[in-house]
Amino acid sequence: MRKSTVLLAIISLLSIPLVTIGQSNSNFTIQGRIDTVPNAKYRIIYKNNEKVIRDSLQLSADRTFTFSGNIGEPTRINFIIDNDFNPRLVKDQIVYSFWVSPGDRLDFHGLTGWLSGPRDNLNIDDNKYKLNGSALDKSTIAYNENRRAVYLANKNQENKTALGDSILSKFIQTNPNNFYSLDLLNRSFSSLNRQPNLVNTLYNTLSNELKNSYTGRLLNKKIMAHPHLEIGKELPTFEFANDDGELVNLEDFRGKYVLVDFWASWCGPCRKEFPHLRSLYNEYRSKNFEILAVSIDESKEDWLAAIDNDKLSWTNVLATGGFNGELYQVFGLKGVPDNFLLDKEGKIVARNLRGSELKTVLDKLIQ
């Protein structure tokens, strides 16, 4: 590997402007123009801390718009249309996506020509916009452009993972108050946690302001929980309301074998598993076996309807937020269905068991 080339490329990464999180003002405004169809409508999705905000905007006859919102920390805002030009990829197509911070007053210009490629395989060109006023967006674009340059300059290096970790680490260590440093570390946690010492070092590098943000506190919870999510470790406790509105804590189940089952009303495979779970529950509940079903539904009504329709007689709690929910992220779930089987001391016996495999493990554990 040509060390001098890598060093020069990494130095250019470190020259990216400093971006702070600016918590003092939670309002942002975007004024802009999109050079497409007059009066066109876009769906808008962004996050205000843990909450997903869904909104919309409509262009005027001269294709201009003004959009405002409130956020507690920087977030990506997405302009979305129905993907009727290539629906086999995704139904909702993000046309423009960029960073906005509390207090920003942005000037946005969406350009035409954002579709590229052959007719049967059209793709979105993420660079088809101009944006003034977002230092964070410029910072992230510069980081990713330079990251690509480092990879191209070292395309013959076998260990691309180590190279990527090096680029990310140097950026975070040199930009401890840049929100993108926190975002990078949070999004890379699942791959970096193979090196827990590196994760802890990089997290401790961040400024106190970033650590005290919503994402900073969430990342700290992930770091603290990760060592306890392995087989033989005690699953971290949590507390949510059940379908009667009463708080239920995982600690309430000590002394019993517990299947902590994560699901959602819209998850077909989850609900397909319920008849089998009902059979196991009826067979083993007299032997100190319980099921604690944790739904990640965003709609309480959908959750309650599924409980009623599927006749779920065990304990049901709601951890709202979908894939953005705090417990979902802290526990490092990769989707639903997922589950943890616990012994009487609350220690993890097995993970993600279904069907006959779950019955086999229960037979050995309980009998």
DSSP states of 54-86:
EEEEE--TTSEEEEEEE-SS-EEEEEEEE--SS
Tell me, what's the pLDDT at 11?
37
Residues of the chain with pLDDT under 50: 1-25
Tell me, what's the pLDDT at 269?
96
Tell me, what's the pLDDT at 336?
96
Indicate the domain borders of the chain: 27-139, 239-366
β-pair partners for 337 = none
Tell me, what's the pLDDT at 198?
92
Fold type of domain 27-139:
Immunoglobulin-like (2.60.40)
User: Closest Cα partner for 48 from 32, 26, 22?
Assistant: 26
pTM of the model: 0.85
Tell me, what's the pLDDT at 12?
41
Q: Do domains 27-139 and 239-366 have the same CATH topology?
A: no
The tokens describing 68, both together, are 């405002």
The pairing of strands 289-295 and 315-318 is parallel
DSSP state, residue 158: S
Q: Is 176 helix (H, G, I), strand (E, B) or coil?
A: coil
Tell me, what's the pLDDT at 24?
47
User: Closest Cα partner for 109 from 96, 92, 124, 123?
Assistant: 96
For residue range 1-50, what is the model confidence (pLDDT) as tens digits? 334 333 333 334 444 444 444 444 489 999 999 998 899 999 999 999 98
Tell me, what's the pLDDT at 2?
39
CATH class assigned to 239-366 = alpha beta
DSSP state, residue 17: P
Q: Is 33 helix (H, G, I), strand (E, B) or coil?
A: strand
Tell me, what's the pLDDT at 270?
97
Tell me, what's the pLDDT at 121?
65
Tell me, what's the pLDDT at 312?
97
Give the Cα separation of 244 and 175 in Å (integer).
47
